[in-house]
Structure 1
């Protein structure tokens, strides 16, 4: 081998050695970060946005939080249809506040998803294109005023059962968002229960309306917890990462146990002939859920799937000018700028003296 060839051979060896060293350090660094991640999870502590996390953990969170956020903004539609038809100003004010809360929940959750490196626009585009799911419960129609009560009691009640454990989720931004959301959902559930109680103790027609609503919303509410554990492939890993704390079937059972005594207090009947107390288990047994219906609605074959997503697309398109105006304002006033000058209110002259009212004799007409 001549001198030039020896030099080139030595150079190649040096480059190979350097590349191997770099790859080795990267592998060791990744292994160290993975070990730190696992220690944080095992200690039941929070993973924060700047912390290292496995790609699969990040993807799982984006999928779950996005589906949750989509459900909040789609979920505004069924009850919003009844705002103009509410039977009193009190009921209308309550319902407006509730629908507004759901919009806020969507904003909290999209914000949590953005901390994972995705964008709100990307998530909404996937929703509008049918590539992201939302809760199947919102693909059922609200046929009567009593449906507003059934949604509050059953649907929001199921949401609370499902979401309270998420306040202890391993991902910090999601857990903190859930604390506020669950506090507001408790009011939503209470107003629904109170509405049904009023109807159940009203006229015979009102009572029949309340019972009909419960009959239609009971089984879809049980489907909200997701498929049975043996058909839920993501549950095991989500629980290992402490994103979820309980399985779908555990949460479903908890919800049934809560609702049975509440239904008795309302004087309404849950539409399940197999519902009975199991002394040995210490829980209520209940009948089988129609998972074929669940899968069909999830696949887009529900009563209102097309209507819900069409209205969402239309609302998004019609609101484009608002987003553009907000973006333009933000560009002109970036964070950190001094607050715009607001002129002081003009001096207002003091009110003139007003003479005291004359004494009026008692009994004078």
Structure 2
């Protein structure tokens, strides 16, 4: 029996290495399924939780045009989350689990969401940095997985990445307006960048010397194609020159490009702080979890009505 399982696993790896895609109904190793569930549920929940900092700015956006733009962005992010959780549900079905268990895992702390979405967004400058740099970091990460070996996730990412480009352009528009504005606006922008710089470094996860968790397994299964540090360096290459061109100061005096190594040198963040944040000990962790929990409980009647309809029931 063990030899048969080993042969199936070998055949599975050969399919992946040949560039074949795995569909939801295909046989897959248990640790491959678990890796996908962990990644996709975290991504889906992060899209939903990530809409909350910007949702706070919908009633406070400085102009009607900005209000419409950020409302559309919040709607998109929620849609991305629903799309990804639907992909995760297919993977969870063999265990008899679904959306309810995903939400329970979020509320009990078993399911994590990205560190950046535990952080406060006190000014309009923060809304700009989130849309430009946080979404920019997300695009870098998601594009890396467009050729993911699991086909349903790859298809979802193609749609999500196309929409995220517009989100980043929305953020860039806010950033440029503030950078070219009054001294108080530039100061607001600089303060927001300083608040978000370390969370942005943490966004990509720990470097190998610190311990990158499940990265090696995901690379072997071709779920992803780059390490955390490779993604962070790609972010530096794209955004450090753009930030500096705006005359903004990056709050890291050690940051420089080392020509002979072909990489950026930077101040390593405190990864213990990162672990505390993703374990729901961040500045806004409980506030946002409570908001998500209250919303989920308030809409229980909708889920119950849909369940009755799906069973063919309804009012007599």
TM-score by length of 1: 0.81
Per the alignment, residue 317 of structure 1 pairs with: 297
CA RMSD for the aligned pairs? 1.6
Q: Deviations over 1:114-141 (max 9, x none)?
A: 1212411111111111111111111110
Q: Deviations over 1:173-194 (max 9, x none)?
A: 1111111111111111111111
TM superposition shift of 1:329: 3.2
SS at match of 1:167: coil
Question: 1:69, 1:107 within 8 Å by CA — same for their partners in 2?
Answer: yes
Unaligned stretches of 5+ in structure 1? 1-25, 334-365
The answer to whether residue 255 in structure 2 is matched with residue 275 in structure 1 is yes
SS at match of 1:277: strand
Residue matched to 1:42: 17
Residues 217-270 of structure 1: per-residue CA shift (max 9 Å, x gap): 111011011111231132111101001110111111111111111112333222
SS of 2:233 mapped into structure 1: helix
1:77 aligns with 2:52: yes
Match of 2:171 in 1: 192
Question: Secondary structure, in 3 states, of the residue corresponding to 2:146?
Answer: helix
Q: What is the match of residue 55 of structure 1?
A: 30
Q: Using structure 2 for the length normalisation, give the TM-score.
A: 0.94
Match of 1:137 in 2: 116
| Deviation larger for 29-38 or 305-314 | 29-38
Q: How many angstroms apart in 2 are the aligned matches of 1:151 and 1:216?
A: 11
Contact 1:229 1:235 survives alignment (8 Å): no
Larger Rg: 1
2:281 matched to which residue of 1? Answer: 301
Work out whether residues 129 and 196 of structure 2, in 8 Å CA contact, stay in contact via their aligned partners in 1.
yes
Equivalent residue for 2:150, pick from 171, 178, 181: 171
Cα distance in 2, alignment partners of residues 179 and 157 from structure 1: 15
Q: Is the CA contact 2:115–2:274 (under 8 Å) kept in the aligned structure 1?
A: yes
Distance in 2 of aligned mates of 1:182 and 1:229: 27
Q: Within 2, Cα distance between the matches of 1:300 and 1:324?
A: 29
Partner of residue 105, structure 2: 126
Contact 2:109–2:280 (CA<8 Å) still a contact in 1?
A: no
Count of residue pairs brought into register by the alignment: 309
Matched, 1:247 2:227: yes
Q: Give yes or no for contact 2:109–2:279 (8 Å, CA) kept in 1.
A: no
Query: Greater relative contact order: 1 or 2 (C-alpha under 8 angstroms, separation 6 or more)?
Result: 2
Cα distance in 2 for partners of 1:306, 1:149 equals 24
1:222/1:252 contact within 8 Å kept: yes
Secondary structure of the residue that 1:168 maps to in structure 2?
Answer: coil
Q: Do the aligned partners of 1:75 and 1:102 also contact (CA within 8 Å) in 2?
A: yes
Secondary structure of residue in 2 paired with 1:76? helix
Q: Pick one of 68, 86, 92 that aligns with 2:43.
A: 68
Alpha-carbon distance in 2 for matches of 1:44, 1:233: 25
Quote the Cα distance in structure 2 between the aligned partners of 1:264 and 1:226: 24
Deviations 1:305-341 (CA, angstroms, capped at 9, x unpaired)? 11111111101001112222233333349xxxxxxxx
Q: 1:222–1:289: 8 Å Cα contact kept in structure 2?
A: yes
Equivalent residue, structure 2, for 1:158: 137
Where does structure 2 lack aligned partners over 5 or more consecutive residues? none
